[in-house]
Amino acid sequence: MGLMRLGFAVGSYLLFFLSFLYLIGFTGNLFDEAAVLTGLGSLAALPSIDVGPDAALGTAIAINLAVIALFGIQHSVMARPAFKSWLTRFWPAAIERSLYVLATVAVLVAIFVLWRPITPLVWSAEAEWLRILLWALFVAGWVILFIATWLLSHFELFGLHQAWADFRGKVVPEMQFRTPLFYKLVRHPIYTGILLAFWATPDMSQGHLLFAVGMSIYVAIGVRYEEKDLIAHIGEHYVEYRKRVGAVIPGVGKVR
């Protein structure tokens, strides 16, 4: 059983990694560029935030809001201690996090498949330097997000550490409260990366704006609930940390 649980964790992680890579291409509308670079014209037909099946405006807004809400609900509900406590009554605790990761993959696939583009532009940067700057911020967002997962425990965040410890018959030690690198500037650098990646684009369509606004609302809600859990778990150390460090923007969101 330990080997099966480890296989489940590894499979969930690999699927998430693939969906993460697709999310970068999806939000950046990068599949057209990839098709040109590789000569694989079929890449240009892959769904992205501005490429996909047509739908009436009202239908597109309704579908897009529904999949954004699905993402927010899945992330927020499954991350709560009460849900974890309920889930582990009948699901192995060693792969509880891996199930969360796999559920995230399912929700991301739903976004990729069901998203309906709304293509009229809100803005389009004309100056070459500005386009380069916005693309640089887009890349920086994904880099910050990726690095931030490693600063504390990448493999524990994605459930591999727990499954590996279970396979070896070990107990996962309690994580110590630390504030390495980005965590000295913001309390939630993963969310900082998400916001940069979703907002930084030289060509902002109405659909992309809807996506960015919806995900920003999710981030605001996620920070609120996540910090309640962290205060309950860490205590006074985290309370003091909130006074010194901003939430997702350096200096902004300190809690007195």
100-148 per-position pLDDT tens digit: 999 999 999 999 999 999 999 999 999 999 999 999 999 999 999 999 9
Residue ranges in the chain assigned as alpha helix (H):
2-28, 31-38, 57-78, 81-87, 96-114, 128-152, 154-157, 160-168, 189-199, 206-234, 236-244
CA torsion 129-134-136-137 (nearest 10°) is 140
Whether the Cβ atoms of residue 31 and residue 43 lie closer than 8 Å to each other:
yes
What predicted TM-score, i.e. pTM, was given to this entire model? 0.95
Is 36's pLDDT higher than 70? Answer: no
226 Cα distance to chain centroid: 14
Is 40's pLDDT higher than 80? Answer: no
Supply the pLDDT for residue 32: 82
- The model's pLDDT over 150-185, given as tens digits with 9 standing for 90+, comes to 998 899 999 999 999 999 998 887 878 899 999 999
Encoded amino acid at 155, one letter: F
